[in-house]
């Protein structure tokens, strides 16, 4: 992987606008190249403005497969649902065929059932045609990062970090909602254009750990995101980036 590109903006608003433009361009390029594109959305609260920006961008959504990087194992109409957040800020504001929107199912008996079902869906939707069983190559992967350095629903010191066969697994968060479903690192690191959007002083420590590559990567799962044959870009606000050595602002 080439060195990550680290971009710092005065505010989250500005970072979201710039990332929204970049993602819209990447989706257009992928559609122009292959007739289709795929994007995996992140959850939490940071990306809300990004999704609103994307909703107003020039994107051929009829050719874009919308996936999720992770989900809380709650009903899709729960306030904690990543699907619900994306629906409110993006999906309800764009014209997109329903079949292009593929949320992680949370109406199955257990998170591991949802993980298996989503992995099977990924196989069909964007599996590796060569039949070698390579992880799906999602064009755009959006990621956030928690104060503990977690990303998607891959939390520090958990076994899911070491998963290198399964593409989607159940995981457990240290805070409510505990039960999660998440893409694994093999899929995330197969992304073509992988983006972190991180903001706020509370994440400064985690950012430093992620960018400095900790002695034990499991301390900071975000540091384990290293796209094998793709790009990694950090989109930061000035608050989180304060004191972080950044090559170019």
Contact residues: ligand 6PG, CB under 6 A: 42-46, 70, 72, 82, 144-146, 150-153
- Identity of the residue, 63 or 84, whose beta carbon is nearer to ligand 6PG in the bound complex: 84
Cβ of residue 153: shortest distance to ligand 6PG, in angstroms?
6
- Identity of the residue, 31 or 185, whose beta carbon is nearer to ligand 6PG in the bound complex: 185
Of all residues in the shown chain, the one whose CB is closest to ligand 6PG is 144
Q: Which two tokens stand for residue 220?
A: 């900071």
Cβ of residue 145: shortest distance to ligand 6PG, in angstroms?
6
Q: Which two tokens stand for residue 137?
A: 């190559």
Helix (H, G, I), strand (E, B) or coil at 71: strand
The C-alpha atoms of residue 64 and residue 110 are separated, in whole angstroms, by 29
Cβ of residue 177: shortest distance to ligand 6PG, in angstroms?
9
- Identity of the residue, 37 or 181, whose beta carbon is nearer to ligand 6PG in the bound complex: 181
Cβ of residue 131: shortest distance to ligand 6PG, in angstroms?
31
Which 8-state DSSP code applies to residue 139? S
- Identity of the residue, 58 or 176, whose beta carbon is nearer to ligand 6PG in the bound complex: 176
The C-alpha atoms of residue 170 and residue 206 are separated, in whole angstroms, by 23
- Identity of the residue, 33 or 159, whose beta carbon is nearer to ligand 6PG in the bound complex: 159
Return the closest-CA partner of residue 226 out of 38, 3, 66: 3
Non-local (6+) Cβ contacts of 249 within 8 A are 7, 8
The C-alpha atoms of residue 249 and residue 247 are separated, in whole angstroms, by 7
- Identity of the residue, 150 or 158, whose beta carbon is nearer to ligand 6PG in the bound complex: 150
Cβ of residue 34: shortest distance to ligand 6PG, in angstroms?
27
Q: Which two tokens stand for residue 52?
A: 């609103």
Beta bridge partners, 41, equal 68
Vertex 194: Cα angle to 192 and 200 (nearest 5): 175
Q: How many residues does the chain have?
A: 249
Cβ of residue 152: shortest distance to ligand 6PG, in angstroms?
5
């Amino acid at each position: 992987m080439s060195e990550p590109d680290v971009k710092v903006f005065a505010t989250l608003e500005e970072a979201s606008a710039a990332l929204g433009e970049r993602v819209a361009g990447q989706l257009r390029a992928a559609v122009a190249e292959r007739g289709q594109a795929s994007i995996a959305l992140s959850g939490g609260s940071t990306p809300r403005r990004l999704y609103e920006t994307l909703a107003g961008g020039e994107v051929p959504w009829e050719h874009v497969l919308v996936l999720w990087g992770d989900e809380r194992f709650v009903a899709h109409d729960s306030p904690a649902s990543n699907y619900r957040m994306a629906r409110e800020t993006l999906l309800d504001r764009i014209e997109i065929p329903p079949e292009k929107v593929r949320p992680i199912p949370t109406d199955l008996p257990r998170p591991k059932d949802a993980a298996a079902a989503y992995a099977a869906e990924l196989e069909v939707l964007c599996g590796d045609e060569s039949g070698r069983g390579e992880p799906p190559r999602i064009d755009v992967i959006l990621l956030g990062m928690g104060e503990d350095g977690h990303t998607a629903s891959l939390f520090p010191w958990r076994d899911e970090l070491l998963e290198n066969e399964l593409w989607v697994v159940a995981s457990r968060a240290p805070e409510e909602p505990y039960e999660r479903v998440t893409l694994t690192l093999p899929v995330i690191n197969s992304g073509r254009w992988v983006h972190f959007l991180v903001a706020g002083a509370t994440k400064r420590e985690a950012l430093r750990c992620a960018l400095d590559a900790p002695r034990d990567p499991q301390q900071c799962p975000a540091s384990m995101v290293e796209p094998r044959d793709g790009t990694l870009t950090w989109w930061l606000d000035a608050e989180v980036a304060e004191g972080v050595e950044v090559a170019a602002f």
